[in-house]
Structure 1
Amino acid sequence: MKPSRFGLQARFAVLAVAMLLLTLALVALVLQRQNELHREVRSLGLQAIDDFSSRRLLSQGETQVLQLADSLVNPLYYFDLETIGTALRQVLRQPDVTYVIVYDNDGQVIHDGSPDISTYGQTMSDPLAYEVLSITGAHVQASGELLDVAAPIRIGDQRLGGVRVGYSLDAVKADERQIGGIMSGRLREVSRSQLLWVGLLLASLVALLAMIGLVLQRRLVSPIRQLADAARGIEAGNFEAAVPATRRADEIGDLVRAFSHMRDSIMRHDRDIRRMAYTDALTGLSNRLAFREVLDQRVAESNGAARQLALLFTDIDDFKRVNDTIGHDAGDEVLMQFTGRIGEVIDAHGGEGAVLARFGGDEFVILLQGDPGGDIRERAGRLAEVLVEELGRPITVRGRPVFLGISIGIALFPEDATDVPSLLKNGDIAMYQAKVAGKSCYRFYSRVMDQAVERRVRMEQDLRGAWERGELSLAYQPLYRLSDGKLVGAEALLRWRHPEHGQVSPALFVDVAEQSGLIEAIGPQVLRAACMDARGWQRDLPGAQGLFVSVNVSPRQLRAGDLAATTEAVLRESGLAPQHLHIELTETAVIADEARVSSVLARLRNSGVKVWLDDFGTGFSGLSHLRRVPVDGVKIDRSFIADVLRDPDDLALTTAIIAMAHSLGIQVVAEGVEKEGQYAILRERGCDMAQGYWLGHPVANAEFKRLLA
């Protein structure tokens, strides 16, 4: 059976009852002695009592009013009626106080202590009100059974108003009538006896309070203070802060034990949270936050020790294609294998103090710490070479090889940057230049790279509004049917004539437009202009009735989701028949979100628009995707056509693409036909259409119309 617990609440109750009984006994003794004293001093005269009582009440009233006036300075200055009301109600609760009024310099009532301030704004009109408006200090007036004590309320030399307190003299008169006599000669003897009793009572009360305070200190205050000290330590991050041990079987004991359990739980959660906050969930590497703290620390240490650092900013090449083609789960497997390989290379060549972290996605960063007298540039370059070579080997994922690479940008401290943000930025810039240089390589940061980034930013700024300014235009490259050599259509190509730099390569500005999102505004304008021109050919030239125009659509336009609606609106506006418009999409753009893209393409084809797959053969999809994606034709990439005459593999692949596409009812267009032999062999293998410089260069609309004529 569990023993009954004499809890803290029960102890407080027993102590309170004991204190109450003792206090009642003491009060009874005081009352008894008081009665005896009253009987002995009844002989004192009413005049003496009156004088004594009047002076006491007057002194008490002046003191109280002056203190009240001082306490009301700030509330009255800020017009805090709630605080003023609280102070007045405390005075009103005191005995003998009849009223309390706070007024302004014009004698209007500001507060009377009542909850609703019923007299607010009224002018004081009682007989005693006139004198209080001009007082400079405590002022006392009497009227019958009432004593009025007033005092001004000042802040510095400025008078804010005043306060009046009315004391009733009824109690004083009653005391006088009750005593009804003059003190006798025995007052001194009785007073000494009374003082002795009062002293004894006070001493007893003090001893009792001291005992209670000691008990509270030892049993309640001390444990709580120790818990408060431990809580402040935990708040400061010291989870080892000492918590008092106890065996007490009361509420305080429960509180101490609960606090100890809470501290242990917070310690565990903090450890888990820090691990989650500083660790990449997939690879187990340090994440961006953890790496940034290490980098800040290393830079601060290196500043004092003149030690060099190297930051290798790495990015997996074309990693998005892995997720798009074989799934995100397989992509995670690739990242894990990449992490393992990078870690092995760093263990072998990174040296002491090397740190590897994953910044997110397919980005990894490596921090190398230079040795005194060593060449950090040489070490970083050697490590980057090994990484490029090692990560260029194929990775086997789910039984199939995946070929990827890695681009690395290297920034040195303090050679390239003297602070952490600049070091990270320069490493990212160098990595981007490695991408531009062809990927699967590394580049050291240089000041020239900043200029390249600045040029790209300036190009983006200049490209904004270029269509409205007339700088962008369309050129048309003719497409011919190989069976009879007839011109059947043209591909619309975007051109930019910059007012300062002249013709800008599409390879430069189209990529900028795609990455910046400007293509979402330029694309519909290109589509509208191409449809208008094609409708013009058919309207103005009798032999151009069956000509089609093909327009390239970027992956960003395709992801926007309104391509079909935009195309239908443009066809209605231009009057061009849907079968005379061909939309060209890159293979990788289509397979990135095959299910959603298929519905968009199906809507386009149902309206009569033809859909072509551009640059076919360069992606990961293979011919199997043609069965699931609704397309009308494919355009064989120029890289296969270029070597079709001398490379048997390219010829075999091209022939296979043509045969497979035809078996699916899909037409084939060959890009980049620049020789007569290429034209002949493509016609021999059954290719449907071709375009290229041997057949015709891209020309402006006016020149293309002359070609048609």
Structure 2
Amino acid sequence: MNDLRLGLQARFLALMALALVAVVALMALMLHRQDRMQNEVEVVSRDALRGAVGDGLRRRGEGTVSQLTESLTNPLYYFDLDTIGEITAVALRQPGTRYVIVFDDDGNIVHDGSDEIPSYGKRMDDALAYEAIAAAGLHTQVTDELMDVASPIMIGEERIGGVRVGFDLASVRAMEDEAVADLRARLETLGRRHFWWIAALGLGLLVLGAVMLWFTQRWLVRPIRELADSARSIEAGDYDIAPPDSDRSDEVGDLTRAFGRMSRSVARHDRDIRRMAYTDALTGLPNRVAFREALDQRLLQLQGAGEPLALLFADIDDFKRVNDTLGHDAGDEVLLQCAQRVQEVVALHGGGDSVLARFGGDEFVILTQAAQGASIRSHANDLAERLVEATRQPLVVRDRPLFLGTSIGITLFPDDATIATQLMKNGDIAMYQAKVAGKNCHRFYSRAMDQAVERRVTLERELRGAWERGELSVLYQPVYHLSNGRMVGAEALLRWRHPEHGMVAPSVFIEVAEQSGLIETLGPQVLETACKDAVRWQNRRGEKGPLFVSVNVSPRQLRSPVLPKVVADCLVRTGLDASCLHLELTETAVIGDEAQVSRLLAELRQQGVKIWLDDFGTGFSGLSHLRRVPIDGVKIDRSFIADILRDPDDLALTTAIISMAHSLGITVVAEGVEREGQYNLLRERGCDLVQGYWLGHPLPREEFEALLG
């Protein structure tokens, strides 16, 4: 029995020793495995966080720079620092944005988003500048501290500069390190707790060791592996996965729930970023990026299918006038109302597959297909006419009606182009031609438009700086009193002698100056020159009496609320008496916002300046302006004067205008008098003043002064 008991004891002890060794070995193995799992979780979690946050930041950066590139094209092209500053300041305020730099084609800084722009004109010389300047498209550079995203800004094929945005990676790295450190601390705490628990129970019971091994596998390893699998899915861009969840109250449960909250937050931010990147914030319509993707996808579907589609570019006419006169809040309200009208028309007449987007500013673009068997050209023409009709109706903004209208350019696939970039370019060209044709209409793209646009761009480029180069000059055409034949004044006329093409017609370059905004610079220069020359005339004539000088005011100048101040300052600088300055404006400049024009003209007349209505009688509502707009004189358009000797209707109209104007106390000027018979007939009808080639051609200042004696 003793031998048996010793044998059983020995076996028991041996079994216990074997169990102890097994438990120790198991503990050592589990400790080693636990350490490896901690390292694996840390590495996987760090990689997942870094990949998810880095990719999200890169997409955000590229989306931001793409939007900035589109928004800055026109402001940079026209060197509008105020608009550039507003756009860059908004981007600079975004969280994590270290800098926003707009630079010209040579790499010189144009704007940095600050009010003072201390770096203006300096060349970028940081380590990332060279690749940013040379980038042909979106270009991302990453250092340990920041991510730099750059993109060129193009006008057609011409590069005019670029934009860079720097995103701070320090906060991203700090967040990543903090998250990993927290994860490591939690895993280490959890590992220590399990070690002592397994050690205390494992020394006594081998079975408990096996149970603990199962427990560890069941309650620790599997949740962490689920977290790792979710992290890898997020890293791959799958933000819509169901994040892991747990009702456990321990650290693993806390970790699982924290990871779930983080996953949902990343998914929510991704949706917000996508919505911001693809949706116009003001109108809620798809934006340029979303439309371009839709256009590319539609073209890919139609390639080889033989199905045509139409692209319509719609631009609100004279929208800048709303912002300049009523403010940007009113401009936003106008855009919302226009967008609603366009949406309604497209929904009713565009077809179910139509896509409407806002391209930014006052531009909308529509992609539409005709019904099966219908003509795409007829469909696009009908849709454009309905859009023009809908937008020409008055808008009510702040209890006042506004008349704007829309110019629409239409291009067809595959007739005009087969790629998205060319289609968009063609639509823009056709829209510009609609504006040239008088606005509030539509035009289909044609090959000839390319040449016209190229000529217009060349003319605009050469017109810039023409005044400084001495190519532009002011001529003066004398104006005579019909009753006694005495000269009473002169009209100042701007002329351009191109060094290669000779004299450029005023009807050509004045229109370019008006549409490009150059008239806002040229107008005050012409006014200043004319006033200085008029002062010379007064000094030369002495007691013979003063001569007036009349200066044309463009519609764009007339829409500027600062026009009265510009005129007043010019009169003060030159010393010209206000009564000797006559400002001429066309009837078309008055139509559309007579209330605003009347206020400006009233301010000018209070200064003593005379107001004349030029080209009178050519508009349908010309006579009504004599009653509603404060004016001192009218100039009968030369088209009536040319035929008064042989056309009874023109003679009757001219006589009626003279009689009606005199009844209202308004002076009448006849322009374009080229024959003695016209002169005599106008004198018989009681016309006050007259000018034309029969009396005198436009003359340079020196030759005009020679007429003064």
C-alpha contact 2:316 2:404 (8 A) present in aligned 1: yes
Measured in 2, the distance between the counterparts of 1:317 and 1:521 equals 22
User: Aligned equivalents of 2:584 and 2:491: distance in 1?
Assistant: 11
Q: In 1, are the aligned partners of 2:563 and 2:600 still within 8 Å (CA)?
A: no
Q: Do residues 263 (structure 1) and 247 (structure 2) align? A: no
Q: Secondary structure, in 3 states, of the residue corresponding to 2:451?
A: helix
1:315 is aligned to 2:287: no
Distance 2:556 2:469 in 1: 32
Partner of 1:385: 385
State the match for 1:589 in structure 2.
Answer: 557
d(CA) in 1 for partners of 2:380, 2:623 = 43
Aligned to 1:699: 698
Name the CA distance, whole Å, in 2 between partners of 1:330 and 1:480: 46
Q: Answer yes or no: is the 8 Å Cα contact 1:481–1:689 preserved in 2.
A: no
Alpha-carbon distance, 1:535 to partner: 5.5
Q: 1:456 to 1:363 in 2, by over 3 A?
A: same
Aligned-partner Cα distance in 1 for 2:559–2:517: 20
Deviation of 1:297 after TM superposition, in Å, equals 0.6
Q: Distance in 1 between matches of 2:382 and 2:344?
A: 15
Task: State the secondary structure of the residue aligned to 1:315.
Answer: strand
Match of 1:638, SS? strand
1:542-581 alignment, distance < 5 Å: 546-551=546-551
Partner of 2:125: none
Q: Secondary structure at the match of 1:282?
A: coil
| Structure 1 CA distance for aligned equivalents of residues 525 and 322 of structure 2 | 33
Find the aligned partners of 2:491 and 2:478 in 1 and give their Cα distance.
7
Tell me whether 1:301 sits opposite 2:301 in the alignment.
Answer: yes
CA distance 1:588–1:631, shift in 2 (3 Å): farther
The secondary structure found in structure 2 opposite 1:305 is: coil
Equivalent residue of 1:546, what SS? Answer: coil
Aligned to 1:708: 708
CA distance in 2, matches of 1:650, 1:529: 31
Does the CA contact (< 8 Å) of 1:488 and 1:547 recur in 2?
Answer: yes
Runs of 5+ unmatched residues, structure 1: 1-17, 27-203, 553-584, 662-667
Distance apart, 1:292 and its partner CA: 1.2
**AA at the equivalent of 1:266:** V
Residues 334 and 471 of structure 1, relative CA distance in 2, 3 Å threshold: closer
Instruction: Say yes or no: does 1:671 pair with 2:635.
Output: yes
Q: 1:394 to 1:243 in 2, by over 3 A?
A: closer
2:341 equivalent to 1:341 = yes
Are residues 544 and 309 of structure 1, via their aligned partners in 2, closer, same or farther at CA, if it must alter by over 3 Å? farther
1:71 alignment partner in structure 2: none
Out of 596, 615, 633, the residue aligned to residue 585 of structure 2 is 615
Task: In structure 2, list runs of 5 or more residues that go unmatched.
Answer: 1-19, 29-202, 642-653, 674-689
- Given that residues 475 and 493 in structure 1 are in contact (C-alpha distance below 8 angstroms), is that contact kept between their aligned partners in structure 2? yes
Q: What is the rounded CA distance, in whole Å, between the counterparts of 1:258 and 1:506 in structure 2?
A: 72
Amino acid of the residue matched to residue 635 of structure 2?
E
Contact 1:612 1:631 in 2 (8 A): no
Question: How far off its partner does 1:696 sit?
Answer: 1.9
Change (3 A) 1:379 1:591: closer
| Corresponding residue number in structure 1 for 2:250 | 250
Which residue number corresponds to residue 614 of structure 2? 638
Q: Could you tell me how far apart the structure 1 residues matched to 2:505 and 2:421 are?
A: 33
- Give how far 1:288 is off: 1.5
CA contact (8 A) 2:601 2:611 kept: no
Q: How does 1:16-35 map to 2 (within 5 A)?
A: none
Letter paired with 1:375: S
Say whether the 8 Å CA contact 2:416–2:423 is kept in structure 1. yes
**Are the equivalent residues in 2 in contact too, given 1:613–1:635 (CA < 8 A)?**
yes
Return the alpha-carbon distance in structure 2 between the equivalents of residues 520 and 401 of structure 1: 26
Distance (whole Å) between structure 1 residues aligned to residue 662 and residue 698 of structure 2 = 25
Higher mean C-alpha displacement, 264-273 vs 629-638 = 629-638
Distance 1:588 1:532, change over 3 A: closer
User: How far 1:260 sits from its partner (Å)?
Assistant: 1.1
Change (3 A) 1:277 1:636: same
The whole-number CA distance in structure 2 between the counterparts of 1:258 and 1:324 is 51
Q: Output one character per residue of 1:590-614: Cα deviation in whole Å (capped at 9) or x when no partner.
A: 554x3x5555555445555537654
Q: What's the counterpart of residue 92 of structure 2?
A: none
Structure 2 counterpart SS, 1:301: helix
Look up the equivalent residue of 2:415 and give its one-letter code: E
Aligned identity (percent) is 52
RMSD: 4.1
Counterpart residue identity of residue 632, structure 1: G
- One-letter amino acid of the structure 1 residue matched with residue 297 of structure 2: Q
Distance 2:520 2:400 in 1: 37
* Change over 3 Å in CA distance of 1:602–1:305 after alignment to 2: same
Distance 1:247 1:532 in 2: 87
Corresponding residue for residue 654 of structure 1? 626
Match of 2:428 in 1: 428
**8 Å CA contact retained: 1:480, 1:689:** no
1:433 positional shift: 0.7
Kept in 1, the 8 Å contact 2:492–2:549? The answer is: yes
Check conservation: 1:480, 1:690, Cα contact below 8 A: no
The 1-side partners of 2:497 and 2:377 are apart by 42
Q: 1:347 to 1:519 in 2, by over 3 A?
A: closer
Structure 1 residue 364 displacement after superposition: 1.2
Secondary structure, counterpart of 2:410 in structure 1: strand
Q: Please state whether the residue corresponding to 2:417 is helix, strand or coil.
A: coil
Cα offsets for 1:596-654 (capped at 9, x unmatched)? 555555544555553765427614143345455664335332344558xxx9x745642
Any idea what SS the aligned residue of 1:637 has?
strand
Give the TM-score of the pair, scaled to structure 2. Answer: 0.57
Contact 1:380 1:410 (8 Å CA) reproduced? yes
Whether the 8 Å contact between 1:388 and 1:406 is mirrored in structure 2 is yes
Using the TM superposition, give the Cα deviation of residue 420 of structure 1 relative to its aligned residue in structure 2, in angstroms: 0.9
Shift of the alpha carbon at 1:430? 0.4
Taking the aligned partners of 1:600 and 1:468, their CA distance within structure 2 comes to 20
After superposition, residues 333-412 of structure 1 pair within 5 angstroms as 333-370=333-370, 373-397=373-397, 399-412=399-412
Q: Which deviations, in whole Å up to 9, do the C-alpha atoms of 1:351-404 show, x marking residues without a partner?
A: 231111122232111101355654222211222222223333334445544333
SS in 2 for 1:310: strand
Counterpart of 1:700 in structure 2: which amino acid?
Answer: L
Tell me, yes or no, if the aligned pair for 1:479 and 1:689 is still in contact at 8 Å. Answer: no
Deviation of 1:429 after TM superposition, in Å, equals 0.4
CA distance in 1, matches of 2:603, 2:392: 32
Matched residue of 2:303: which SS?
helix
Q: Could you report, residue by residue, the CA deviation over 1:523-581 in whole angstroms, capped at 9, with x for unpaired residues?
A: 676456545644554565557773344555xxxxxxxxxxxxxxxxxxxxxxxxxxxxx
Cα deviation, residue 242, structure 1: 4.2
CA distance 1:263–1:212, change in 2 (3 Å): same
TM-score, normalising length: structure 1: 0.57
Aligned length: 465
The residue type equivalent to 1:360 in the other structure is G
Q: Structure 1 460/340 Cα, relative in aligned 2: closer, same or farther at 3 Å?
A: closer
Residue of structure 2 equivalent to 1:3: none
Higher Rg: 1
CA distance in 2, matches of 1:401, 1:517: 26
